[in-house]
Amino acid sequence: MATKMGPSYANPFVGYIKNQFFNQFHGTKPELYGRYIDDCIGATSSSREELDHFITSVNSFHPAMKYTWEIFETSIAFLDIEVSINGNGLSTSVHYKPTDSHSYLLHSSSHPSQVKNSIPFSQFLRLRRLCSDDSDFSNKSEEMRHFFKKRGYPDSVVNTAQHHAQQTDRQSALQTSQKEKNERIPFTLTYHPHNLAAQNTILKNFKLLQNDSETGRIFSQPPLISFKRDKNIGNLLVRSVLKSDDQPGTFKCALKRCNTCPFIHNADKITGPMQAID
């Protein structure tokens, strides 16, 4: 999985091999089988000998695929979920790997406040989805509070996030959220606290473009102001890519469907009344 395309290649390959194996294997198969890329989970009522035969057959089916496995009687971890037998059903809880250091973004980090404040809620909502029992959710939430306290998050931010997640119905939390179609043109700035003033200035004066006869049809809605991360110390000390010969500046993208290119002037300097800035 070292490359970005690794999971995209692995998923259909493992799925194909799985179908081939199940079609050709004539022994006892698990009653429950699930897979996420190359991680699998299953449940069976077969004997240990039949299960060992199944596992041995899986590992010898294709030379490029070798699995490691764990067998438990009452509970098992799968990805970040712990699945346990509870009477005649199953219960789920969150599972942390031993290497998980809970190194969430420090609250003192230079990031937009909405980004930092959304992290606790996303983690509490994750607990809401994974914990099938309300008492277990409460216990895991208290544990999560300590994780964020160590990262410098104010109690007000953590309390609000925990309360919001607690008020969310678990069935609603398990539903896939539908993203609304957004046709606003993104305006990306490098994040810095001083750039928040630039954001306010752009939105305040955007009506000049909306009221213009030529640009009004393109900029019918205010731009979607977004921020990208600035260079950190690691980026300054270590280069992850070779030096590029691309010339800095503002240039047309030359895409046929682009409606803003006609209004772009290629330039590598910002010319002001007193001087030009490279």
Task: Please state, in angstroms and rounded to a whole number, the distance separating the CA atoms of residues 127 and 158.
Answer: 14
Both tokens assigned to 94? 């969150």
Q: What is the pLDDT of residue 66?
A: 84
Q: Which residues contact 21 (CB under 8 A, 6 or more apart)?
A: 57, 58, 61
Q: What is the pLDDT of residue 164?
A: 92
pLDDT digits (tens, 9 = 90+) for 185-221: 888 888 888 888 888 888 888 888 888 887 777 777 8
Neighbours of 260 (CB within 10 A): 13
Mean local confidence (pLDDT), 231-249: 75
Helix H, strand E, coil C: the string for 176-245 is: CCCCCCCCCCEEEEECCCCHHHHHHHHHHCCHHHHCCCCCCCCCCCCCEEEEECCCCHHHHHCCCCCCCC
Q: How confident is the model at residue 122 (pLDDT cuts 50, 70, 90)?
A: very high
pLDDT digits (tens, 9 = 90+) for 50-86: 999 999 998 889 888 888 888 888 888 889 999 988 8
Q: What is the pTM of this model?
A: 0.71
Exposure of 84 by Cβ count < 10 A (0-12 exposed, 13-18 middle, 19+ buried)? middle
- DSSP secondary structure letter of residue 80: T
Domain range annotation of the chain: 6-71, 113-174, 186-271
- Output the CA torsion sign for 188, 192, 198, 199: positive
Q: What is the pLDDT of residue 129?
A: 92
Q: Which residues contact 29 (CB under 8 A, 6 or more apart)?
A: 22, 44, 54
